[in-house]
Amino acid sequence: MNGSNDSLPARHAVFAYGSNLDLPDLERWLKTCGMGHVCPAAVEVAVLPDWELVWDYRSDARRGGAANVKPAPGGQVWGAVLTVDDALLQALDQKEGHPGRYRRRLASAEAVSAPGVCVDAWVYVVTPPFLSREPVWPTRAYLDVVVRGARTLGLPAAYVAGLSETQTCD
């Protein structure tokens, strides 16, 4: 070796919202897909400024609406920045249907532990062919996963309460 960091695995920041907030649910999905025990190297509560959480996508796997985000001046989406390696990024791509259903794009997230400090993180956003003009409400089971993850991570109580009050399709 010549002193370079070539042997260090690549690290990526991914802004998690929706069901990816619930790390046990994510781990269950990874195991189901044969990924074994893969987990983020770090999890940091964060906010995505100037975005909003929307319910404009139907997930066949979840049998109802699944969370999406879209730019919205003055909005905020609370979640977590996951630090992942190449393998976990590829697994998340598979889970989210990148680049078909959801597409990864960079956005600036602010970590709660470092106010004013932003990190460029990958955010999964539903692609136009899969957007619905009308709200697609989640199932109670899916919403429970999202709320459980938000509570476990310690997202603001008012934000969690707003999630809890989301209409469901069942």
Please give the CATH topology (third level) of the domain spanning 12-157: Hypothetical upf0131 protein ytfp (3.10.490)
Query: How confident is the model over 51-76, as pLDDT tens digits?
Result: 999 999 999 999 999 999 999 999 99
pLDDT at 150 over 50: yes
- Say what the pLDDT of residue 3 is: 45
Q: pLDDT band at 117, cuts 50/70/90?
A: confident
Decide if pLDDT at 85 tops 80.
Answer: yes
**pLDDT exceeds 70 at position 6:** no
**How high is the mean pLDDT of the chain?**
92
126-130's contacts with Cβ under 8 Å and 24+ in sequence apart are: 126/56, 126/57, 126/68, 126/101, 126/102, 127/99, 127/100, 127/101, 127/102, 127/103, 130/57, 130/58, 130/101
